[in-house]
Amino acid sequence: MRSRSVPAAVAASPGLPVDVVPIALSVDLVLLTVRDDQLCVLLVRRGIEPFRGRWALPGGFVRPQEDLAEAAVRELAEETGVRRRPAHLEQLATYGAPARDPRGRVVTVAFLALAPLSQAPVAGTDAAASRWAPVAGAGDPPGLAFDHQAILGDGLERARAKFEYSAVATAFCEPEFTVAELRRIYELVWGGRLDPRNFHRKVTGTAGFLVPTGRFTTRDGGRPAELYRRGDAGVLHPAMLRPTARPNP
Amino acid sequence: MRSRSVPAAVAASPGLPVDVVPIALSVDLVLLTVRDDQLCVLLVRRGIEPFRGRWALPGGFVRPQEDLAEAAVRELAEETGVRRRPAHLEQLATYGAPARDPRGRVVTVAFLALAPLSQAPVAGTDAAASRWAPVAGAGDPPGLAFDHQAILGDGLERARAKFEYSAVATAFCEPEFTVAELRRIYELVWGGRLDPRNFHRKVTGTAGFLVPTGRFTTRDGGRPAELYRRGDAGVLHPAMLRPTARPNP
DNA sequence: TCCCTTATCGTCGACATGACGATAAACCGG
DNA sequence: CCGGTTTATCGTCATGTCGACGATAAGGGA
């Protein structure tokens, strides 16, 4: 049952059993940012078959001596000109359905990245084009290439869930930001409104979430708001639950 | 920068660019169960180099037409005789450090599985040996093969975290179980004691967590305890936080 | 029967939360 | 200069959950 006459020439490596079938491994990125008061995802237009001309998540094949996260950052730079490491980068999941790529067996490791727009201005070099697409309606009529629509959905759900119990939302913010700006991020990611007073109480009352700078700004109009920086808190105790996630009443 | 003289003979597939370097892809399992009042992980002893004789997580290479979860279940059956699909199976993470396998580039997709002992009795057929190792001190002096110690650690942390906001703990239980048995599971996974009265209030008060059967048992001694089945609740609202996860005081 | 063990129910105070009122401090148009 | 608008921030209050722990129920064993 084990050996199934795979030519030794395609064995992945001399040290491995000859019946090990090599697989192409790629990385794909769900890079999110906030732009024009909308949650946006970075897409690239495919310049080659398959799915030529369709929009897809940025990504590419892993090189022989490259770690996975490293490959993700490199592809991001190559395809979009985004050079700086995103403020937040984490592995999302690995997608390996046998038929997900018509060219052959390609398994992809998806990453979720969050960055403020200023860190990711977008200037593609490799792909035919790249753009920020509002996540509502990303890849609308034809859908994204491959299974990227599903990957995007999983990435969004991961981001929404992580907003509840962690402080990653600050990854979307500039170094200094107001409570209202952070609240707007939450509202865009979760969809819906949050009470400004309760939100303010929560984020300023959670140790390590925000660090006050003592300086103020009026860039949002109205009374001057204090500027904060990210704190060092990774997780929130207790969590901030999204209003929609209330199955009881 | 792109093509780096990789022989076309090793291209992963005819349809892919010739500079795509094929990689060996494996799956590994962190299969947990509760046995003799201990949280245990299934380990197999390696029969071949590298790490011959060392304990490792069960796993193996992905076949050409096989989905990832499918490969995980198959390897579990082949290596340990565990035929039934575990009560809970989820993707954990993918590990791809370039030097994690001395034989060459092998990337592994790790899965986390939970099962009651009755579903996974262990009777190895392929590996030299397999056993249930208490997670406290699994692979003690030499450590596990490859980076499996780190994978096990990540799996345990994932399980601990998931116990807080989901009902997966019932995956360790027989079809019918008492509140005390479920509480013991939590105590073993989290390490530490839980108040029986508060735990009872929490799990019986959370809609969809437990379904009472109306029948009772005295197998734990003392006053008869009601038997329950798993409910259909996937997530818990609000979460049940582990006592140690309290950074405030 | 007394005691021991475990199950289950209740009570109480601390605390987080949602709803929402009130005040503060900038801006703008007149 | 002044009132109106906008946004920020602080408070209040009812509700719900949680941790600590007392009390009672219902078996088994000596």
Chain-wide mean pLDDT for chain B?
89
Token pair 């990653």 is found at A168
- Return the domain boundaries, chain B: 24-161, 166-230
Contact A81, A124 (CB under 8 A): yes
List alpha helices for A141-242, DSSP H. 148-165, 179-190, 196-205
Mean pLDDT along residues A219-225 = 94
Question: pLDDT over 90 for what percent of chain B?
Answer: 73
The contacts of residue B2 (CB under 8 Å, 6+ apart) are B19
Asked if pLDDT for residue B75 goes beyond 90, the answer is: yes
Query: Which pLDDT belongs to residue A24?
Result: 95
Q: Higher model confidence: residue A64 or residue A82? A: A64
- Fold designation for B24-161: Nucleoside Triphosphate Pyrophosphohydrolase (3.90.79)
Does the structure show a pLDDT above 90 at A1?
Answer: no
Which fold is adopted by the domain A166-230?
Answer: Arc Repressor Mutant, subunit A (1.10.10)
Can you give the pLDDT at residue B1? 36
Tokens for B113? Answer: 């599985």
Two domains, one topology: B24-161 and B166-230: no
Q: Which helix (H) or strand (E) holds B163?
A: helix B148-165
Assess whether pLDDT exceeds 50 at residue A248: no
Secondary structure (3-state) at A236: coil
Chain A neighbours among B 84-123 (CB < 8 Å)?
Answer: 91, 93-94, 96-98, 102-107, 109
Q: Are residues B138 and B41 in contact, defined by beta-carbon separation less than 8 angstroms? A: yes
| CA–C1' nearest nucleotide, residue B220 | C6
Q: Output the pLDDT for position B211.
A: 97
Q: Please write down the HEC assignment for all residues of A52-107.
A: CCCEECCEEECCCCCCHHHHHHHHHHHHHCCCCCCCEEEEEEEECCCCCCCCCCEE
Q: Cβ of A12 and B23 within 8 Å? A: yes
3-state DSSP call for residue A8?
helix
Q: How confident is the model at residue B123 (pLDDT cuts 50, 70, 90)?
A: low
| Contact residues, chain A, for B66 at CB < 8 Å | 98
Which residue in the set B15, B65, B98 is minimally distant from A67, CB to CB? B98
Contact A104 B16 (CB under 8 A): yes
- Residue A236's contacts (CB-CB under 8 Å, 6 or more residues apart) are A164, A165, A166, A167, A206, A209
